[in-house]
Structure 1
């Protein structure tokens, strides 16, 4: 009988190498996916001061940034209320995602109408802490959703708000409410007036283009609306008071 032809040793080693490479790649992806889950636990203690991906970028590119961590207890309550009423009025009521708002945005998109943002403060915190900022926005949103639910599950609303206020961008190289208050109004965050708090809150969607210290007519009108809403916030802000 003719002898069986053995496979090429080179091909065998190549197959093993490919399988090994794929396995290592899969493990790397799993580790990358688990990183935000682990970091969320590490960020629970109040003495831990997380940084955002934008802050990390500024460090890596040697641009530097200004951020002075401040406890939420040392932030003017009117600023906290203004941010909630401007960015996420249902913050105290939802579990990381405002499904009603998100469904409305999806309906508008399906109908071909202009869409508005549906990001909650929890989703924005997730984006700031773990994710990229601008390219591939739709993919990022898909990743944001489960991470926002998880963050809301393991972390208190008050801690989420504290982290958000300390990692949000408020101008080029200006991160966190304390640095923003000092930069724009030359006073600490705990001494912000109602008007200043409202101006800072409405500048958050576009902090590079919107200057709370030099607001145009449109920004002043938005600030007036948020100032009134913050004054009547009541139960909407109970989870952070």
Structure 2
């Protein structure tokens, strides 16, 4: 019985990942759970998002995301072991300030296929789906999905909605500084906003701008 359940799960999950190689995810559990939370707080439903194909996303936004979140994105197979090790040691030294070591692939996997929250079970599923998308998707597809589904503000999902909300333009027209400022807020888009950057966000913006120059053109 257990063996059949595991086999069915593997079959369904592989088909799910394969489907999303060609079909754009219409909605994620995070979006649903966030809006349930908004309703519980007496707020109105809010879901600002608009899918844009990879070629329609500004190269500045693509490079800013990689520079700010995962500089080894094009070279790893889903996991940055050095970053994971550094995060582990940092968290052991100070458990009050949890440091993450997730790659763009891991973030995409958990945003598209999993529920919000933190647990070892969820981490296990995250690793599993990360491996699947690295096998069945291209790096370009992973980044395309990532920049269309991740939370970039309160009720704001994806680069196009973020660009229009913060700068009144399409993400294809973002300049390097604007793209870097949006990426600087990725770790906590509810707490931070490109419109009112804190000292910490301005520093992250500076580092991302510096890393964009250092990375140079990305070759997919």
Q: TM-score, normalised by structure 2?
A: 0.86
Q: What SS is found at the alignment partner of 2:66?
A: helix
Q: What SS is found at the alignment partner of 1:170?
A: strand
Gaps of at least 5 residues in structure 2 are none
Partner of 1:123: 106
Deviation string 1:116-162 (CA, Å, 9 cap, x unpaired) is 211000000010011122242x3322221122122101100000000
Partner of 2:77: 95
- C-alpha distance in 2, partners of 1:29/1:67? 34
- 1:187 aligns with one of 166, 169, 175: 169
Task: Kindly name which structure, 1 or 2, has the bigger radius of gyration based on alpha carbons.
Answer: 1
What is the deviation of 1:37?
2.2
Deviation string 1:49-74 (CA, Å, 9 cap, x unpaired) is 20321123356668240110001111
- Over the aligned positions, Cα root-mean-square deviation in angstroms equals 2.3
Q: How many residues align?
A: 211
Gaps of at least 5 residues in structure 1 are 1-22
Partner of 1:83: 65
- C-alpha distance in 2, partners of 1:149/1:27? 22
- Note if 1:159 corresponds to 2:138: no
What is the deviation of 1:195?
0.9
- C-alpha distance in 1, partners of 2:194/2:11? 38
- C-alpha distance in 1, partners of 2:13/2:195? 35
* Contact 1:128-1:167 at 8 Å conserved across structures: yes
* Contact 1:131-1:140 at 8 Å conserved across structures: yes
What is the deviation of 1:94?
0.3
